[in-house]
Structure formats: C-alpha cells, structure tokens
Chain A
Amino acid sequence: MKDTSNINPLENEAIYIMREVAAQFEKPVLLFSGGKDSITLVRLAQKAFYPAKIPFPLMHIDTGHNFPETIEFRDRLVKELGLELIVRNVQDSIDDGKVKEESGRYASRNQLQTTTLLDAIEEFKFDACIGGARRDEEKARAKERIFSVRDDFGQWDERNQRPELFDMLNGNIELGQNVRVFPISNWTELDVWSYIQKEEIEIPSIYFAHTRATFLRDGLIWSADDAVVYRDEEEEVVERIVRFRTVGDMSCTAAVLSEASDIVSVVQEIRDSSISERGARIDDKRSEAAMEKRKQQGYF
C-alpha cells in the first residue's frame, strides 16, 4: 500500500462516502436492485466497516418483473453476509390504487417504482438512501451530487443543488427531507467491471452469455417472457445467445448478443464496446429528457 499508484482512488473515495453516511445520518439504507452496481456497493460497504457489520439494512423495491436469477442471487447474498433485507413490492402499490399499471407495447413498471420507494422511505423514516447511480450513465446523472437532497415529496431540484467542494459532504437536512447518496458517482461502467474482476465479486448469471428466448423490437433484443413483456404476434421469438449489460426490470432492459461467458471476456467486451450501457435501457429511449424527468419525480 505504500506506493500511491497502487491504491484505487475510486474505491477509497467510495469507502469514505459510506463512512460519512453512517456518521452523518440516523437511518440510512442501501438500495439494492441485484444489479452489478448495487452488488459493488455492498462490497464497498463491507470494506468501509470491517471488522464490524454493515450498519444499515438493504432495501429492494421489487417490481415483480425482475429476472428470477436476480432474486435468487439477492436472497443468497443477504444470507451469506448476514445482512438485513427489506423488500417492498410495486404490486402492493398497484393493489392499493396508488399507481396505475401501464398498458400497451412499452408497458413497464419501471416508473411505478418511484411511488413504492417514496412510500418505503416514509414508512421507515430513512434519511439517507445509498444508490449505485453513476454520472457516466446518462447526462442528467452527470449533474448529480454525491449527497443529493430530496424534499418531503422525494423530488430533485436540479437547478438548486448544493455545491460540493473538496471531499466535504454536507449531510445537514430538515426533518422529512432525505439524501440520496451515490458513492460510485465517479466510476465508469468499465471501472465497475474491472473492480468486480479484481475483487472476484460474484454477480447474477444473466450478466454472462446464455441462451434465451428473445424477440427484436426497435433494434433492441427483448426477453420473450409473455407474462411480463407485451409482444405482438408478428414479433417472432428466436433463441439467441445473449447477456445483459445492465439489469433492471425485465420490461425495460434489453439484452445484447454476446459470447462473453466469464468475467475476463465481459471486461474485454466492455473495453471494446462502442455502445453505451444505457443504450440497452428501453426506459431512457422514451425522450431525450426521460431520465431528468424521472429524477425530478423521485426516481433514482
């Protein structure tokens, strides 16, 4: 560790942020989706507090449309690490009449998560929610702070953000407000994958090449799961060898053709890739400002 060039500045920054959360807030929670970014956050939290346990629970906002592999992985990880997991379901928000399920070709529960998330924050009185968003993902996210204050309604006021200087994080908030915290803000997709490789972190199998029933729409490869994803009859189901580069809800995540079946080949593929990660996010294709609008409403 003596040589500065051997330390990973991004890892050290993220550990510092995790510790600031534990020190500055009463009731933090780590938002866990089962995706590679939130799995990376769990490892960073372990490192920040070792030999003590992670001093906050994980929470998963379950759309009910997750890939089954992700849910199995989530439950195993939580058990192995002895973590506390809270699950809140979008289905309950639908049943309570708080949100209305979308219909049609592009129906997705992705936006509906926001209501379930905000309700859960209120229910548990969480004052800090740690998330795996990165600034390189999308241009509205490029403007995000590391400690991002949300008002009583969970809303993001993008034009009135606190300046963040040096590495001093101001976690002062009013009762009812909460802070979204992004410890891997400064990581790129490749940084995350390289870290997963170096640390030998286990990730769900859908990130690696596998055979899947799929269909094509708008130039993207959709998973053909008729219970969750609406499909026209002329949209023909074909088995393809694919993997997922980003994992969200089944209805909003497209697969990519890939033969990369282990971490080494995945890292190589990302290195050579000419498409951005969010290029496979159907939810971002809705409009140029799709992410900014969702963020204002309280989405991650």
Chain B
Amino acid sequence: MEVLKIATAGSVDDGKSTLIGRLLYDTKSLTSDKLEAIENKSKQLGYDYLDFSLATDGLVAEREQGITIDVAHIYFSTANKSYIIADTPGHVEYTRNMVTGASTSQVAIVLIDARKGVIEQTNRHFFINNLLRIKTVIVAINKMDLVDFSEERYNEIKADFEALMSKRDYQDQKITFIPVSALKGDNVVNKSEKTPWYNGETLLENLEGLDNQDIFNAGIPRFPVQYVIRPKTDEFHDFRGYAGKVYGGELSVGDDVVILPSQTKSKIKEIHFYDKKVQTASRRSSVLITLEDDVNISRGDMIVRANDLPVVDKQFTATISWMDSQNLKTGNKYVVQHGVNKVMAKVERIHHKINPDYSGVDDTVETLAINDIATVSFKLNKPIFYDAFKAHRTNGSFIIIDSKSNNTVGAGFIQ
C-alpha cells in the first residue's frame, strides 16, 4: 500500500492538533482507550468539547503549555492509503521543525484561522513549502464556525492567499482551498451542510484522490552506494555487491553506468532484492547491485547511468535553513552530508538572507542565526555528485553537521 506523508503547519491556536484529532476521530482511527483518555482529560480540564489536541501533544511540557514543541508523527489509514502526518509547530522559533517535517512530505496542509486570515505565519508556512517544493498544498481555512460559515470571508482569505502565490518561485505547486471547522467536523472527513456554497471536496476526499505517480517527483536515477556486501562464504566466494537505495528513477540489468568519482564505466550485471533477482530496481527501493567489471567502489561513491551524469564539483551555492543556536559565519567549517556522503565544507560567502517577513532580502549579512534562511556558497575538500534541488529533490539536498557538537545544524537545497 502506498504511504502518503503530510506536513501540517499552522500558528499557535490555529487548531492544527484539533484538525489532526478530527481526522483520526472521523476515520475511526482513534482507539477506544485513547478516546477514553481524551474524554477524561477534557472533562478534567473543564472543557465543553473533546480536546483532540490531547491525542497528539506527546510531551509533558507540551501538555502543560498547550503547545506543540517538536515534530510528532501521527498515523492513520483508510481502505485506500496509509497516511503519516508530520505535525510541526508554528511558533517563530521552530522554523527548523517545519523545514524538517516538510522535507519528508509530499503534501502540506497550511492552516488559517478564518477570524485572523492570512498572517505573517501563513506567509512563512507557504514560503517553506514552496522552498521545499512540496507539490501539493491544501489550504484549510479553519474555524469557519466562528465566522458563521461566511462565503464572503472565505473568498477574502482565498484572495489574500492567492496574492502570496503570485510571488512564489515554484509555480508547479497545486493549491486547493477548503473551508473547515476542525472542532465541529465540517468538511474534514464529512461534507458540511453549513457550506452549501462550497462544491469542492472535503479534506480527506482530497487526500484520497491524490495521484501517487504525480506526487512523487520522478527524475534521473541516482544510486549512492551505502554499503559494500562481501559475504566471503563458500557459496558466495567472490561475490561483491553494492547496497543502496535507488533515487529519482529506475535502474535495470544491462544499463551502461559510470561510477563516480572514479568515472569508471561498467554495466549492471544483476539486481538483487534479498534472495530474489529482479530485472529493474524501481525508485525508492533498497537493492543490491552487482557490476560486470571488477571495480573499486566504496561507500559514498555513486552509480549513475552513463548518459545522465550529475554535476561533479567541489563547490556549490544553496539555499540553506539554519537550525542551530550557534550562528553560522563566513569562513566557518562544517561537515556536509549529501546523501550518505560526508565531506568537509567551508562557508565561502553568504549572498543574501531572506527577511523574516519574506518581504525581500538582506545582502549585507556575515552571520546566520537560528531559523534564518539564506543563499550561501560552500567550498568542499572533496567533490560531491549533485543535481539542482529543483531537478532532483534527493540528490539536490544536504544537511550540515557541526564537527564539534556533532549536531545537525542546518539543511540545504542546491541551486
């Protein structure tokens, strides 16, 4: 069964957790013991209605403060599909979590409070989803019950959001607007009788109808070697296979390939998936490849089709999202992890930083603070084999690791 990953974003009190709780409740994904816990807690807190956010806020501090701190993963399924929701908080200081959630998702739900309309946070959520080239965005205009399910208000917000869309960089994004009340359940799973003016799908109907082929960006096949398998047993005496995951497209037995960085040419001899041999390895499958020739390959090398070479270079420029409390400075050195490949990198230049309100750029900065997004050039100690992010979501992205703390301190999207 196909698994669809969804990132949700909204500001504090937009009702994001409630929306997720509602999705779980109306798809009957909440088990009776969990539901009972929510009922008891809601009663204990003196609420008039069930607080579904109690289903998702997992940490003590979150329940105390009534906010979502970290990315939580929530699971539900229908007869059609399995869904994973990456629930990310909307506070200013947690931009890094939004980027993280969006990086593994194919769909984003942006929540807007119908009373407040499009606010700076909405701008940020939309910008991040656009930066990460999330193909499908659902704008859920929530709390419609508090604006009397007004069509006029809905259209006003829609028009404001469309004004944001005109500024976007990634124009292929598909955007759908849905008026909902997560609290009362209107247009989430079940169609609302209170919005006769809305002829579109409910949120779940929309998710169910998404075409998988369309959502998963196809591209050129890339095979970064994760691990070399040499059994050294009597049965597989001279066996030498390259384990890895196929990204972007398919690889087949007989394909002419080039191994990077050595530029050696060979041909795919066999493709194994466990104890079976297959003719073609589809995208996102974890396989084992053997080659016709005896080539020296190690982890971090990349097998690509001979006529589809990526860029091989010791420098690149990327949009980066900085995630650490220690600032990034021009001249600093970090580890860049590009797929399974780790190299040393030096910050050559910060070209410009995107203003926090996305009104424009600041091209005079020398440092980046947590949650900043900027265009930065890096110089590497060894070449990597990359594609532009807009052409290849996997092979165009990387993470930045601080070699002192070992923390992941940033993520980047190669231009």
- Residues of chain A at the chain B interface (Cβ within 8 Å): 1-7, 9-13, 15-16, 19-20, 22-23, 46-53, 135-136, 138-143, 149, 158-159, 161-168, 170, 172-174, 185-186, 188, 190-191, 273-276, 279, 288-289, 292
Alpha-carbon distance between A163 and B69 when the two chains are bound, in angstroms: 13
User: Chain A contacts of B32 at CB under 8 A?
Assistant: 274-275
Contact B243 A19 (CB under 8 A): yes
Q: Which residues of the other chain, B, contact A51 by a CB distance below 8 angstroms?
A: 229, 231, 233, 235-236, 239, 241, 272, 275
Selecting from B51-59, B108-116, B162-170, B256-264, the interface stretch reads: B51-59
Q: Which 5 residue pairs of A and B lie closest in terms of their CB atoms, listed nearest first?
A: A139-B58, A15-B286, A52-B231, A172-B406, A276-B31
B229–A170 contact, CB under 8 A? no
Contact between chains at A166 and B104 (CB < 8 Å): yes
Contacts of A50 in B (CB 8 A): 272, 274-275, 288
Q: Nearest A residue to B277 by beta-carbon distance? A: A1
Sorting the interface of chain B by its residue count into under 10, 10 to 19, 20 to 34 or 35 or more gives: 35 or more
Residues on the B chain within 8 Å of A190, using CB: 77
Contact of B299 with A by CB under 8 A: yes
Docked Cα-Cα span, A185 to B394, in Å, equals 21
Q: Does the CB pair B3–A186 fall under 8 Å?
A: yes
CB distance from A170 to the nearest CB of B (A): 5
Q: Quick check: B96 and A163 within 8 Å, CB to CB?
A: yes
Other than the known A3-B282, A50-B275, A52-B232, what 17 A-B pairs have Cβ atoms closer than 8 Å?
A9-B3, A12-B285, A23-B226, A50-B272, A50-B288, A51-B235, A52-B229, A135-B73, A139-B56, A140-B58, A142-B72, A143-B58, A164-B408, A166-B103, A168-B399, A190-B77, A288-B63
Bound state CA distance, A274 and B362, in angstroms?
A: 54
Contact of B73 among A20, A23, A142 (CB under 8 A): A142
Interface 0/1 of B34-74, CB less than 8 Å to A: 10010001000000000000011111110100000111111
Indicate if the CB atoms of A275 and B96 lie closer than 8 Å.
Answer: no
For this complex, 13 residue pairs linking A to B, each with C-beta atoms less than 8 Å apart, are A4-B212, A11-B286, A12-B245, A20-B226, A23-B226, A50-B275, A51-B241, A159-B59, A159-B69, A170-B337, A170-B406, A172-B335, A275-B32
Kindly name the residue among B41, B283, B285, B339 whose own CB sees the greatest number of chain A CB atoms within 10 A: B285
A11 to B282, CA, bound (A): 14
> Which of the listed residues A138, A165, A168, A186 has the most CB atoms from chain B within 10 Å of its own CB?
A165
Q: Which residue of B lies closest to A293 (CB)?
A: B60
A140: B residues at CB distance < 8 A: 58-59
Which residue in chain B gives the minimum CB-CB distance to A135? B73
For the complex formed, measure the closest distance between the CB of A245 and the CB atoms of chain B, giving whole angstroms: 12
Closest B residue to A3 by CB, please name it: B282
B-side contacts of A139, CB under 8 Å: 55-58, 72
Contact of B229 among A13, A49, A173, A185 (CB under 8 A): A49
B401 interface residue (CB < 8 Å to A): yes
B232 to chain A, nearest CB (A): 8
Roughly how many angstroms separate A279 CA and B33 CA in the complex, as a whole number?
Answer: 6
B239-283 Cβ-contact flags toward A at 8 Å (1 or 0): 101011100001000000000000000000000111100111111
Complex CA gap A161/B286 in Å reads 27
User: Quick check: A292 and B58 within 8 Å, CB to CB?
Assistant: yes
Is B3 a contact of A10 with CB atoms below 8 Å?
yes
B43 to chain A, nearest CB (A): 14
Q: Check if B323 sits within 8 Å of A163, measured CB to CB.
A: yes
Cα distance A255–B278 in the bound complex, in angstroms? 42
Question: Which residues from chain B contact A276 at a C-beta distance below 8 Å?
Answer: 31, 33-34
CB distance from B261 to the nearest CB of A (A): 18
Q: Quick check: is B398 within 8 A (CB to CB) of the other chain?
A: yes
In the complex with contacts A7-B284, A23-B227, A165-B274 CB distance below 8 A: no
